[in-house]
């Protein structure tokens, strides 16, 4: 197995490893450390069936159920999919899920530690996924700004009243089941203790103790800062790629700049409440 850093701050590419084979304790520890150190880990040349994919994801923890059952495999309900044919509701309009910087399921009291995508079918051009490192962006803030935001709490809901993107339309049952929660704006990473910005403009509804206009100005300012190209790793998908990322360390966004079929399998690893 070889591991090659992709940028100075984010991403490492692993080659020479088949995740469909058993992963022993020493190798598992190395793979977990790669994620902790680099936030995004890219595995090339994989071809895993859903059971193998779930077993591989178990290296990083327990699999978490997907938020919306309509985007899961009927025979393997823990396995989700992201497709170029996804619609906002059954029989509705096509949409590019995740087409704006975010972190997954931030409206959950214990949001996912990590997300994995496995490329099954990809377009010949386009469809990249971009990541930005929220630890690096927080650490570059002026000390006065850090003091201003360090103790702030933000209400995360399924769909913010000022969301910049469309999301899937919820059924009445889904509305009752899907949670909302208050999250720290600057949590400490549960494992490293490193502070980072926790941002998701599709989900952020208000900041505790702050007028809405002031809150959304601050959110916009922090998003503009955190999504600068200097914090980015841009992943160009190849057939067979598996990419895992730490949702507490990076934001990500999809790109809808393609016309051919795109289909990836999605898994999430359970996390803990943020502090």
Beta bridge partners of 13: 4, 42
Q: Could you tell me the pLDDT band of residue 210, with boundaries at 50, 70 and 90?
A: very high
Residue with token string 């099954």: 120
273 contacts 190 by C-beta, under 8 angstroms = no
pLDDT digits (tens, 9 = 90+) for 62-92: 999 999 999 999 999 999 999 999 999 999 9
3-state secondary structure of 172: helix
pLDDT digits (tens, 9 = 90+) for 142-196: 999 999 999 999 999 999 999 999 999 999 999 999 999 999 999 999 999 999 9
In this structure, which topology does domain 2-269 adopt according to CATH? Double-stranded beta-helix (3.60.130)
Given this model, what pLDDT does residue 180 score?
98
Given this model, what pLDDT does residue 204 score?
98
The answer, as to whether pTM is greater than 0.85, is: yes
From the list 253, 272, 242, the residue with the least C-alpha distance to 31 is 242
Helix (H) or strand (E) holding 109: none
pLDDT digits (tens, 9 = 90+) for 152-164: 999 999 999 999 9
């Amino acid at each position: 197995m070889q591991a090659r850093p992709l940028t100075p701050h984010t991403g490492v590419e692993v080659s020479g490893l088949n995740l469909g084979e058993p992963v022993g304790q020493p190798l598992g520890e190395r793979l977990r450390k790669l994620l902790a150190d680099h936030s995004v880990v890219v595995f090339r040349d994989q071809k895993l069936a859903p059971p193998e994919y779930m077993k591989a994801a178990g290296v990083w923890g327990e699999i978490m159920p997907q938020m919306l059952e309509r985007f899961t495999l009927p025979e393997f309900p823990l396995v989700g999919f992201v497709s170029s044919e996804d619609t906002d509701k059954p029989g509705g309009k096509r949409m590019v899920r995740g087409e704006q910087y975010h972190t997954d399921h931030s409206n959950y009291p214990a949001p996912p530690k990590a997300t994995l995508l496995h490329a099954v079918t990809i377009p010949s051009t386009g469809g990249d996924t971009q990541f930005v490192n929220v630890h690096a962006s927080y650490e570059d803030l002026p000390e006065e700004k850090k003091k201003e935001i360090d103790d702030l709490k933000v209400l995360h809901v399924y769909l913010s009243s000022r969301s910049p993107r469309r999301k899937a339309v919820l059924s009445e049952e889904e509305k009752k089941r899907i949670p909302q929660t208050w999250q720290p704006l600057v949590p400490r990473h549960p494992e490293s203790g490193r502070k980072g910005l926790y941002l998701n403009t599709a989900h952020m509804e208000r900041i505790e103790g702050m007028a809405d206009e002031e809150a959304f100005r601050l959110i916009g300012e922090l998003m503009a800062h955190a999504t600068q190209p200097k914090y980015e790793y841009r992943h160009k998908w190849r057939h067979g790629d598996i990419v895992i990322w730490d949702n507490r360390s990076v934001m990500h966004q999809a790109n809808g700049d393609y016309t051919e079929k795109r289909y990836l399998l999605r898994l999430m690893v359970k996390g803990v409440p943020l502090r």
